[in-house]
Structure 1
């Protein structure tokens, strides 16, 4: 930027001085200077003082901010850390903490509080946010009139209680007297753009004149110039292997998939996941467009690009998951009263959407008044599917292994497939490529100390991360004890990775292996029953410092395991129910009870 003399109100000497100064200023200095000049009266005389005194007079006290996150799979934590870095680069003193690590007696001392949280399951807080959530709703919660705050909520709009935890924090902080300085933003699974906008609003509310240091500027430049694979810029990984892990006669199909990471530079740790960007089934897309009365090659605008309808429905937009918000939008385009009647009854619409997709809606509730453009504008993008990595990079340097159960079922006489699992099972072969990225999960990690015992509890495909755990420890020669509880239907057909586990038991990498095959006896036996059978030894391991890991279905398996662990601790530790609950909460705070549930 160079100031020209022509028509300038400045003398030539002033122009020279300005042209010497302006190129040396960073963005924040320019913003500060603009604001300073806007409030200084035109007739004011700026005193001539030495540099030290000038800093005292005109420098603004740096703002401070505390960023608390509630995170189950790592998304909220990643965003919180990113916001913390951006605020620090902008001169704000930012502290980033998990809610479980924040001391609530410090709450009243805060000035600026920013909360980033996901909503877990059916409207519940993530594990590391439960206690802070309970505290804010308790009688011990203080008045917070001195605090400014804002909330970024993450969720999934296909669930009824979309972003409920974020809304809870937002509303309760306001009730306690805190002042909202940036409106809450509710993000769906495709949250990048909305989160970036919230970040900008937060920075604009807090930014000071403090300039970025040379090291910060260098870090920003380095980050901007480096190429990283991500959800928006996936790596296309070749499929090296695809094996059905279930035996003949099983009613399940579970694939072991090996992906090449060669030349990607991608790294992962045990407990991380791989995100796959799937495509819809081409045949389903054809049927949907036919039912709509549109044409495959009809052009629509999506993300400011002109794309054929068939292509965008196959590759970009979700057509298999129904939610109440989507049905409410569709209702505006039909005079069919059946849809409005369905939506008036909570139980009826929930029963209807279970196992159905957009094709069912189009066939059942027409005619519709929309055109193709209006139709696609109702739909959200296809969310990536996350799968726990089932391998250790220490043992497989340029590979990542996945365990993917095929989802298939029949509703209303039509066979259905899971979007991603169906694609893997029926349309992806060895040698083809999948668009992927690494999703780090800092809340599901092996202890840094290899001597610490670990207890792993999983069912079905929930076995995946534990294969990475044991393979990693075997590669590192770890000496800590390890105990795997694994459950599935039948020993003969559903013992996933059986030879791997038996080999690791033989080699000593896996200390104990306890299985529960629910359909092999007259009574169904699940992993929680095996936990109870080994209650005494299990409690001894926990008392010795063992870390407990649970991976699997949240509503049934993980919930039952949690109840059983409470019961074991109460029984073996001679504790009341409240004491057992406190014991469990302490384990969570110490990151000794970690869950990867879905």
Structure 2
């Protein structure tokens, strides 16, 4: 029944003052919503200023264009004649590429671009015109794997349509970094050269190869570089050496008014795919540290780090932890004294900028010289032959100049020098000119020459199922004797840094856990750094790994480890033990573990005994002791051979094989396993090679090894 106007007004009239207030509130809110952006909350036309880079505010009204991923376009835009691509895992290839680019400009006047492979789309290499040159400096690590920043390039090389790609305009040279202890020595270089040559590219000189196994990487690069200069630059291009001084690529200005940014660490040189497998770098608190052995030759530590402060940081059993070291204070202070920087100047803020637009450098700014030498540049790295020659131009005395030239210009003199003298750049300055300041040595030169600190990767020794907020690592602390003088010991940068952290932590704790130095070691290594009491933290990142337990907990596994290679297997065993504790069935586990002595060198000995007991026959540990006499003088591959029937039976029935440790050990164990399977199954050589290849492809055979 319809209402008239009077009845409708009475019906809608508020029954009380509260109803009236509610109606007014609703009306005002609706009006305000409809007028938003017109009468109020209008956009601030200057809001963009808060997000612009400072250099864009003065007269610039448009954003800088996004950097091109087309290398041909980049060479044209930057007016470069040569591109030097680098694929680097530990920073050596990157350092070589940067050095080569600088020398091309200084010595021959060729404008060169040092290019991270992950910054450009690999297929655009085919667009490089014949008027330009391309150089590739490529590292191979692990079992023939490319560096993280070269994964896109690697996939392009091996794509199915690869045969259709033609490179008739590409003129190139290539140098590879590898380790002959690995089965696929310099595989990345070999595959790249094969692909380029097959696509019609013109190789300018024979590809060079460095072998880290014999310590000749620097020497091999120097020899290959000299051939590049002589054959390509001098003979083919008709260029002559220019005798010009150092031309800085960075501007370094002291500005006390600036505030240095806080310590930051990033994983540089990673492609998009590699970045997706690595977490952000975080500062982690060290929860506890303990000694694992009392060996007279090597010291092993167990460190546990707290992830609770960083809930976004997660790991899975078998992953790696990338740890950033800190340089020893003694080396830092020696370098600062060498260039005449006192404490005040070393702590003065520096503004660092690239002098050439678009050039990237991996250093913080504003910062200080003290922060750079302590946290960002590897001042303990060996000094290259080229660097010694370059330093001679800044020598403060004629005697210093003559000494550096004698060492740097003669290959044999340099080899003898580095084999018998542990020389960092700070020590070299002091050795060449004792008690003399290198006043003419620019800080910019050091920042461009000293390689950046790279993280060291450790296999995680804990289980994410057991301790998701605590990550553990196993560290071997061992000095390396110089080849030409075994009395001179070189301390490991990261291992001794972690040792100093551990000892400082336990000096300042009230718990009963202590880190003790074995009595047989009567000389302590130099203190790597001054640890601030209560600040026992380190910068680290989690990197995902394919080194994983089978998805099915019932799948049997065979594990082979030597030394600190036991780390990921500790996590594997803890995870399986947890599954069994909650009533889940688990497959048989057998671990072959190699160490030096039965007493004092068997890592996690008591813990493993308890786990064997708890697993009630599911877990067996077979040990090999390489330094004990008699019949016990065996390596881990000998134990695998002794139990060959059982190992082959497990593998034939679907067990997974895991090997972790040094590459030489993994190679020997792999050879034994292949021989056992070939003999047991009466396979041909082709059959066993096909079996091992498919096992690795299907992740039934996994390795986590290092050189």
TM-score (norm 2): 0.54
| 1:444 aligns to 2:547 (yes or no) | yes
Q: 1:394 aligns with which of 435, 455, 465?
A: 465
Q: 2:390 aligns with which of 328, 332, 349?
A: 332
List runs of 5+ in structure 2 lacking aligned partners. 1-64, 66-86, 91-116, 124-135, 203-264, 353-362, 393-400, 506-533
Partner of 2:164: 144
Cα separation, 2, equivalents of 1:269 and 1:288? 41
Shift of 1:282: 0.8
Cα separation, 2, equivalents of 1:563 and 1:343? 38
Cα separation, 2, equivalents of 1:164 and 1:362? 35
Secondary structure of the 2:599 match is: helix
Cα separation, 2, equivalents of 1:432 and 1:251? 30
Q: Is the 8 A contact 1:144 1:178 kept in 2?
A: no
Partner of 1:480: 587
Shift of 1:453: 1.0
Secondary structure of the 1:310 match is: helix
Shift of 1:522: 3.5
Q: Bigger shift: 523-532 or 367-376?
A: 367-376
Q: Is the 8 A contact 1:144 1:176 kept in 2?
A: no
Q: Bigger shift: 471-480 or 295-304?
A: 295-304
Cα separation, 1, equivalents of 2:419 and 2:270? 33
Shift of 1:116: 13
Q: Which has the larger radius of gyration?
A: 2
Shift of 1:146: 6.2
| 1:420 aligns to 2:494 (yes or no) | yes
Q: Is the 8 A contact 2:331 2:380 kept in 1?
A: no
Q: Is the 8 A contact 2:139 2:189 kept in 1?
A: no
Shift of 1:348: 5.3
Partner of 1:119: 140
Shift of 1:489: 0.9
Partner of 2:570: 467
Partner of 1:256: 302
Shift of 1:364: 5.0
Partner of 1:372: 443
Q: Is the 8 A contact 1:406 1:421 kept in 2?
A: yes
Partner of 1:311: 371
Q: Is the 8 A contact 1:145 1:177 kept in 2?
A: yes
Partner of 2:326: 279
Q: Is the 8 A contact 2:177 2:186 kept in 1?
A: no
Cα separation, 2, equivalents of 1:339 and 1:124? 35
Partner of 1:211: none
Secondary structure of the 2:624 match is: strand
CA deviations 1:168-206 (Å, max 9, x no partner) are 3333222222789xxxxxxxxx9966556x99xxxxxxx
Q: CA RMSD in A?
A: 4.5
From the superposition, tell whether residues 362 and 71 of structure 1 become closer, same or farther in structure 2 (CA, over 3 Å). Answer: closer
Cα separation, 1, equivalents of 2:441 and 2:567? 44
Cα separation, 1, equivalents of 2:659 and 2:334? 40
Q: Is the 8 A contact 2:560 2:636 kept in 1?
A: yes
Shift of 1:125: 4.5
Cα separation, 1, equivalents of 2:615 and 2:675? 30
Cα separation, 2, equivalents of 1:291 and 1:465? 43
Cα separation, 1, equivalents of 2:599 and 2:469? 32
Shift of 1:376: 2.3
Shift of 1:309: 2.4
List runs of 5+ in structure 1 lacking aligned partners. 1-30, 32-69, 74-82, 88-93, 95-114, 181-189, 200-222
Cα separation, 1, equivalents of 2:176 and 2:417? 18
Cα separation, 2, equivalents of 1:269 and 1:149? 46
Pairs aligned (count) = 439
| 1:553 aligns to 2:662 (yes or no) | yes
